[in-house]
Amino acid sequence: MSSEVCPAQRVSFSIRATIDDEGAEMSGINGDKSRFHRERKQKIARRKRNRELLKTLAERRKSAASSGSKPSAVSA
């Protein structure tokens, strides 16, 4: 048997250590994961706020159109 490593085992991740404000070390991979998750939650929250805003505006437009006077026909 040879001591060669299969190609799947050769894959290595470069883990770069980053230091945050407290001085604790965090791997670059975990930092990327946390950033991705934080941005994902922000996107979901922004979409939810936008949907609620559009829904509110549509309801206001409907109520304003129904409560206003009907436009009168203009004779020429």
User: Whole-model pTM?
Assistant: 0.49
Confidence at residue 13, expressed as pLDDT on a 0 to 100 scale:
45
What does the block give as tokens for 6? Answer: 């299969």
Tell me the per-residue pLDDT of 28-59, one tens digit each, with 9 for 90 and over: 889 899 999 999 999 999 999 999 999 999 99
Alpha carbon 68 to its chain centroid, in Å, reads: 39
Sign of CA dihedral 53, 57, 62, 68: positive
